[in-house]
Amino acid sequence: MRYIDPNTVRSELVKLITESLTVPDKSVTAALKNLATPVALERTAAQLIVENNEIAEREKLYCCQDTGQALFFVKLGEEVSCSGLTDAIQTAVRAAYTTARKSVADPLTRSNTGDNTPAIIETELVKGDTLEITYLAKGAGSENMSKLYMLTPADGTDGIIRSVVDAVEKGGRNACPPLVVGVVSAALPKRLARSANAHFSARSGLITHARTLPRSKQRCSKKSMRSV
């Protein structure tokens, strides 16, 4: 069994979060810089994002004023012991977001938690003695354009295509660019519904313990920390 100090995890995550929020993904910046489109408005928008990214990296500023909610995807080796890992992650978020915008609020009271916690943590047990943590700053500018479609088997592939096109047409101009379209199956919405039901029941006093189930894993620019 390999022991990993949670204090080391915390300090490394603080650096990871800070770098992720201030150093843009170079591949995204390069793609926008080389964007080939006949639409002048699209070229102008891409160039503005490129200039923004270059200034952020040069001046060590946040790439966007929306520094997002912190999501962590943890791959924990079965031969690893890291007591206090969850607390280390939450503490790292509090420290890293000291000067960043705090986006986490109660959905009903709209009261801000003041330190951008709790972070969303998805944990996967894997073979081996390593710990890998991927951090994702998930902004609401893309989250609030999510759509859920209930299809029947008869809808087939054409129904999926129609749903994706409909979602992009209705929300594409309102979400924060650059856009990445993600499509997931029914498994994730089902887990979300179960999680929402558990939390609602807990708040209503119907049950005393609610198990937090994984939230939707949405992919965009992210960075990872791997133990050595």
Provide the residue range defining the domain that includes 187.
2-23+63-226
What's the confidence (pLDDT) of residue 169?
A: 87
In this structure, is residue 152 part of a structural domain?
A: yes
pLDDT at position 8 is 96
Class of residue 203 by CB neighbours under 10 A (exposed 0-12, middle 13-18, buried 19+): exposed
**Cβ neighbours of 218 (radius 10 Å):** 15
> Is residue 166 assigned to a domain?
yes
Q: DSSP for 125-153?
A: EESSS-EEEEEEEE-HHHHTT-------G
Residue 33 located in a structural domain: no
Contact present, 14 and 96 (Cβ < 8 Å): yes
Token look-up 């856009």 returns 179
In a structure prediction context, what are the per-residue pLDDT tens digits for the chain, which is 228 residues long? 999 999 999 999 999 999 999 998 888 899 999 988 899 988 898 999 999 999 998 998 999 888 988 999 999 999 999 999 999 999 999 999 999 999 898 888 999 999 999 999 989 999 999 999 999 888 776 677 778 888 899 999 999 999 999 988 888 777 776 677 878 776 666 666 666 655 544 444 443 333 333 333 333 345 555 443
Tell me, yes or no, whether 30 lies in a domain: no
Query: Cis omega (within 30 of 0) on the bond before 153?
Result: no
Instruction: Please state the domain count of the chain.
Output: 1
Say if residues 119 and 72 touch (Cβ distance below 8 Å): yes
Do residues 131 and 4 touch, judged by C-beta distance below 8 A? Answer: yes
On whether residue 47 sits in a domain, the answer given is: no
Rounded Cα–Cα distance for residues 65 and 71 (Å): 17
Q: What are phi and psi of 212, to 5 degrees?
A: -75, 120
Domain-embedded: residue 91: yes
Q: Pseudo-torsion of CA 219, 42, 48, 28, nearest 10°?
A: 30
